[in-house]
């Protein structure tokens, strides 16, 4: 073999040996390393993750210690709040769920042993302990409503309806005369915004927008813009309970906001006896309860804002028969309450009428 080829082969062999080193695989320290969780001494014996219970049930939360030495102590946290500590076997907690909110509950069990600790997490779901009452309704009166209004927010004060409308390029805030449906005052939103729910807080009107995650605060009399604010989810419905703002985003969650600082201070999940109630849309606070349109349905649910339980439900599909054949109509959306006159008003997107209705208990069968 010619010398030049021998040198070439020896060079290739040298490069190969350098690359292989002592036979260990070469790694790039910049490459992510696979996470290997530390083995745990113990395991949760109960509950199973995402188990369902009914509000008021007593829930057992146990740590299995059979395959390891006994821990020095075990601590239970529920939704980041301290519950109790156990210092000797059996390591089983009992949590009575009466008087709490419905929905997801986060359980955290912390075991301490020989100067070490480990954490076990689980989630349980609390359903409502009441079956919603099914209400009926009677139409008391009907009023003209602008069929060009894509109603997103509705409220009533001092003889006038206040309405927020949607669709980009068509969104607005309005003061409307109830009797004839005439728009008395209007402020249009910039064309990039899709208007959503509104609420009156003293001398201000607060209006949400859909995907922009931007809200507007106006002077109630002049409709002049006072400020903008932001929130980290979509804006759908909005109402004021006299102390707090409650906001929906199309999920089962109602977000509680401070009406002055406009920052989130709490939230509730809305559940009935079967599961979560989603697509919560336009909201109205009436006599201690929140009434919510269910988007794409003809139903309104009555919600306990302390626990999140749905306590009643009414189906308003028959209202569409009153406006059938009149132009394009969309879904039921819009709830307003006249506190002084004890009148409940409802309408829908592009509906030519607004209805004064009375909700009624149905005879039990």
Q: What is the pLDDT of residue 10?
A: 41
What global pTM score does this model have?
0.85
Joined together, the tokens standing for residue 14 give: 């040298």
Q: What is the pLDDT of residue 324?
A: 78
- Which residues contact residue 253 at a Cβ distance below 8 angstroms, ignoring those fewer than 6 apart? 267, 268, 269, 270, 280
* Residues in the chain with pLDDT values less than 50: 1-37
Map residue 289 onto helix, strand or coil: strand
Asked whether the beta carbons of 219 and 226 are under 8 A apart, the reply is yes
- Which residues contact residue 231 at a Cβ distance below 8 angstroms, ignoring those fewer than 6 apart? 208, 213, 215, 247, 255, 257, 262, 264
Q: How many residues does the chain have?
A: 365
- Which residues contact residue 23 at a Cβ distance below 8 angstroms, ignoring those fewer than 6 apart? none
> Exposure of 23 by Cβ count < 10 A (0-12 exposed, 13-18 middle, 19+ buried)?
exposed
* Other residues' Cβ atoms within 10 Å of the Cβ of residue 24: 7
Asked whether the beta carbons of 103 and 115 are under 8 A apart, the reply is no
Q: What is the pLDDT of residue 38?
A: 59
Q: What is the pLDDT of residue 21?
A: 44
CA distance 279 to 237: 10
> Exposure of 343 by Cβ count < 10 A (0-12 exposed, 13-18 middle, 19+ buried)?
middle
Nearest to 142 by CA among 323, 349, 330: 323
CA distance 341 to 283: 19
Strand duo 310-315 + 133-144: pairing: parallel
What residues are paired with 357 via a beta bridge?
A: 139, 344
Map residue 272 onto helix, strand or coil: coil
CA distances from 86 to 22, 66, 93, 208 (A): 53, 16, 8, 48
Phi and psi based region of residue 6 (left: phi greater than 0; alpha: psi -120 to 50; beta: remaining)? alpha
Q: What is the pLDDT of residue 184?
A: 96
Joined together, the tokens standing for residue 193 give: 């915004």
Nearest to 145 by CA among 120, 111, 191, 178: 178
- Residue with the two structure tokens 């209705």: 357
CA distance 204 to 339: 18
CA distance 256 to 269: 11
């Amino acid at each position: 073999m010619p010398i030049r080829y021998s040198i070439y082969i020896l060079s290739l062999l040298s490069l190969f040996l350098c690359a292989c080193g002592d036979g260990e695989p070469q790694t790039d320290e910049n490459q992510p390393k696979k996470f290997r969780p530390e083995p745990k001494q113990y395991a949760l014996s109960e509950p199973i993750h995402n188990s369902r219970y009914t509000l008021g049930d007593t829930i057992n939360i146990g740590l299995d210690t059979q395959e390891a030495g006994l821990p020095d102590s075990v601590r239970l946290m529920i939704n980041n709040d301290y519950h109790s500590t156990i210092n000797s076997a059996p390591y089983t907690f009992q949590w009575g769920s009466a008087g709490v909110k419905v929905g997801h509950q986060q359980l955290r069990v912390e075991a301490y042993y020989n100067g070490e600790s480990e954490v076990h997490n689980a989630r349980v779901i609390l359903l409502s302990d009441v079956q919603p009452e099914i209400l009926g309704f009677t139409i008391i009166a009907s009023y003209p409503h602008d069929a060009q209004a894509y109603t997103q927010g509705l409220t009533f004060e001092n003889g006038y309806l206040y309405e927020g409308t949607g669709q980009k390029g068509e969104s607005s805030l309005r003061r409307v005369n109830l009797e004839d449906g005439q728009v008395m005052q209007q402020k249009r939103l910039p064309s990039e915004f899709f208007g959503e729910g509104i609420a009156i807080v003293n001398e201000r009107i607060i209006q949400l927008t859909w995907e922009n995650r931007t809200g507007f605060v106006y002077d109630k009399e002049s409709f002049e813009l006072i400020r903008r604010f932001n929130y980290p989810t979509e804006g759908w419905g909005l109402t004021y309970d006299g102390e707090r703002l409650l906001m929906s985003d199309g999920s089962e969650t109602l977000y509680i906001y401070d009406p002055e600082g406009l920052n989130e201070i709490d939230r509730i999940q809305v559940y009935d006896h079967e599961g979560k109630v989603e697509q919560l849309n336009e909201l109205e606070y009436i006599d201690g309860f929140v009434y919510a349109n269910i988007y794409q349905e003809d139903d309104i649910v009555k919600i306990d804002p302390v626990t999140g339980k749905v306590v009643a439900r009414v189906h308003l599909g028959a209202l569409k028969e009153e406006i059938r054949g009149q132009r394009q109509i969309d879904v039921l959306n819009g709830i307003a309450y006249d506190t002084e006159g004890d009148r409940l008003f409802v309408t829908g997107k592009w509906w030519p009428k607004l209805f004064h209705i009375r909700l009624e208990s149905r005879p039990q069968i």
